């Protein structure tokens, strides 16, 4: 019998399914701390958890452990890397909680608009403050949705009954796909300037930390509302704090630095606060429990790897090429601009890499689309692309080119004027070092893509390098390395600088104007 430990308040459906299936001994105990349960059951084969922290210490105490299932989408409470080191698969149940979060957004909006919480307390206290509690109607308002994954799309679906104008922003989804969802595509700036309500549904990444900052908050209409049921850190709460009273903004919040008792850092600015209840519904709990049990059985009996989030690489494929695929795709995405929708991804895997195209696509996609986790598999990658209307083509590599074990990645993005523009990069691994051989029409570059890099594209002429170097020096930025290839056909040059400090957007624009360049892009790999 395989022992399954469920140390959490999960719906009994998981235990019932596993027991009914046979072959599993289930221990479900939500009262005893996980540390004590682990000591009592060192022969545990599988763990099914919710928000419990599965640390390296916990993993090391379970020598028989083969699987950890997170009954939910996020899995940052699990040490996935240490789990892989121990040969433990980590699975999650994406989508099981989505509707619960989407409905919470609607509930928060209505509760705030009609003063439900305050009115209940006031009336119970014997008061009759009807005149002071004039509310607002959701019907006919403009709602902006930032992030159009499962939850964002469900929010839009639920809002349609209120006859709203729905604006949507997702840098990964082409505008025609957004329109197919019944949502009006818009930029972040347009959403924050026009919406009465802005609801956030993006993961917390480097690119989204502080996303809702001074500029966007400052553009909001007086009396507008921000709803954050996504992740703590997406909203720059100091920026909100600075103008909230003046602009009479509302802030409805369900996320915190830590899910635990104690003072909350945003209590002074949150008009409604919930203890991270988005997925806390009987239905979501039941769905996650069923999915968790089914995924464990499918993994054991069918070898179904679709939901493994800390996948390993197959024998014969060097990890360095997974890293190369990720680096190249990250680079080409940053050069293209990370806020423009991707319409097409094309790859060519040369030499011995061709058989591993499906595995490498995951690394490619996670570099281009930061919300797609690198530990997913090909099936998840294909579904992700399909959901966002992004076409993928794995081209037949031309072996006559003599590129050896190389990777080429092309992406086509939708410009603001709806035209498509393509960007390309090719690279390889030489003596264990990643090397970029080509970017667009510039070949034989042979530079290592690491650290802070500035790319300047301009018409070839004397004096440009000196102008760029002077602007960088004036900003206190040192050049550590550089390349300056020319293309005789296009009569353009590409200056590539490795720097010791990041380049601000304003400095990049200043350099672009000074050299009359086509583009000036700073990347960090």
Strand spans (E) along 371-443:
391-395, 406-414, 420-430, 433-439
User: Active-site residue 82, yes or no?
Assistant: no
| CA nearest neighbour of 168 among 341, 333, 335 | 341
168: three-class secondary structure by DSSP: strand
Of the listed 261, 263, 396, 431, which one is catalytic?
263
Do 138 and 113 form a contact (C-beta atoms < 8 A)? Answer: yes
Kindly state the helix (H) or strand (E) to which residue 284 belongs, with its residue range. Answer: helix 282-302
Strands 225-228 and 250-253: parallel
C-alpha pair distances (Å), 189 with each of 146, 411, 495: 11, 25, 31
448, 435 in Cβ contact below 8 A?
yes
Q: How far apart are CA 67 and CA 90, in angstroms?
A: 6
Task: Tally Cβ neighbours within 10 Å of residue 189.
Answer: 12
Active site (annotated) includes residue 294 = no
Q: What is the CA radius of gyration of the chain?
A: 26
3-class SS string, 225-277: EEEECCCCCCECHHHHHHHHHHHCCEEEECCCCCCCCCCCCCCCCCCEECCCC
List the catalytic residue out of 50, 201, 276, 498.
Answer: 276
Within 8 A by CB and 6+ apart from 146, the residues are: 152, 169, 170, 188, 191, 198, 199, 200, 201, 202, 211, 212
Asked if residue 155 lies in contact with residue 106, where contact means CB atoms within 8 angstroms, the answer is: yes
Q: Name 316's Cβ contacts closer than 8 Å, sequence gap at least 6.
A: 352, 355, 356
- Whole-angstrom Cα distance, residue 329 to residue 525? 10
Set 231, 311, 438, 498: catalytic member: 231
The torsion defined by the Cα of 482, 483, 484 and 486, in degrees rounded to 10, comes to -170
349/311 Cα distance (integer angstroms) = 21
Asked whether 77 and 70 are in contact (CB, 8 A), the reply is yes
**Among 338, 401, 323, 408, which Cα is nearest to 368's?**
338
SS3 label, residue 101: helix
Is 115 known to be catalytic?
no
Q: How far from each other are the two terminal CA atoms of the chain, in whole angstroms?
A: 47
HEC readout, 169-209:
ECCCCCHHHHHHCCCEECCHHHHHHHCCEEEECCCCCCCCC
CB 429 within 8 A of CB 407: no
3-state secondary structure of 427: strand
Which residue reads 């100091």 in tokens? 238
Q: Which of 214, 204, 192, 208 is nearest to 256 (CA)?
A: 204
Q: Which residues are catalytic?
A: 231, 263, 276
């Amino acid at each position: 019998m395989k022992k399954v430990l469920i140390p959490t308040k999960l719906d009994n459906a998981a235990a019932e399914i596993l027991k009914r299936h046979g072959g599993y001994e289930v221990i479900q105990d939500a009262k005893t701390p996980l540390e004590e349960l682990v000591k009592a059951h060192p022969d545990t084969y599988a763990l099914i958890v919710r928000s419990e922290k599965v640390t390296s210490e916990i993993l090391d105490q379970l020598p028989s452990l083969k699987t950890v299932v997170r009954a939910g989408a996020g899995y940052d409470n699990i040490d996935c890397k240490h789990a892989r080191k121990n040969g433990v698969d980590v699975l999650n149940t994406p989508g099981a909680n989505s509707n619960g979060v989407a409905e919470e957004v609607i509930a928060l909006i209505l509760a705030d608009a009609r003063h439900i919480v305050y009115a209940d307390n006031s009336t119970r206290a014997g008061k009759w403050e009807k005149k002071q509690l004039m509310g607002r109607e959701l019907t006919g308002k403009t709602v902006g949705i930032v992030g159009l994954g499962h939850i964002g799309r469900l929010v839009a679906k639920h809002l349609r009954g209120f006859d709203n104008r729905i604006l949507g922003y997702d840098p990964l989804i082409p505008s025609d796909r957004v329109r197919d969802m019944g949502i009006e595509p818009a930029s972040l700036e347009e959403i924050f300037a026009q919406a009465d309500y802005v609801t956030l549904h993006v993961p917390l990444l480097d690119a989204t930390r502080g996303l809702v900052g001074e500029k966007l908050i400052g553009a909001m209409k007086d009396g507008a509302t921000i709803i954050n049921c996504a992740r703590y850190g997406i909203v720059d709460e100091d920026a909100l704090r600075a103008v909230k009273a003046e602009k009479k903004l509302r802030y409805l919040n369900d996320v915190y630095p830590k899910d635990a008792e104690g003072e909350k850092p945003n209590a002074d600015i949150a008009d409604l606060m919930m203890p991270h209840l988005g997925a806390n519904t009987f239905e979501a709990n039941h769905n996650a429990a069923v999915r968790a049990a089914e995924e464990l059985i499918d993994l054991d009996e069918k070898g179904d790897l679709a939901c493994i989030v800390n996948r390993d690489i197959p024998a014969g494929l060097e990890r360095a090429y997974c890293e190369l695929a990720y680096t190249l795709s990250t680079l080409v995405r940053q050069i293209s601009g990370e806020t423009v929708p991707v319409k097409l991804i094309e790859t060519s895997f040369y030499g011995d890499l061709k058989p591993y195209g499906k595995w490498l696509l995951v690394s490619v996609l996670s570099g281009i689309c930061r919300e797609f986790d690198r530990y997913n598999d090909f099936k998840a990658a294909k579904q992700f692309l399909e959901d966002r209307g992004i076409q993928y083509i794995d081209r037949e590599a031309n072996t006559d080119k003599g590129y050896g074990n190389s990777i080429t990645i092309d992406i086509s993005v939708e410009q603001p004027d709806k035209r498509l523009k393509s960007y390309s990069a090719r690279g390889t691994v030489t003596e264990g070092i990643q090397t970029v051989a080509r970017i667009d029409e510039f070949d034989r570059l042979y530079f290592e893509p690491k650290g802070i890099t500035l790319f300047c594209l301009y018409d070839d002429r004397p004096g440009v390098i000196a102008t760029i170097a002077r602007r960088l020096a004036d900003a206190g930025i040192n050049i550590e390395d550089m390349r300056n290839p020319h293309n005789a056909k296009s009569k353009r040059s590409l200056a590539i600088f490795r720097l010791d400090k990041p380049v601000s957007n304003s400095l990049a624009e200043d350099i672009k104007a000074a050299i009359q360049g086509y583009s000036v892009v700073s990347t960090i790999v």
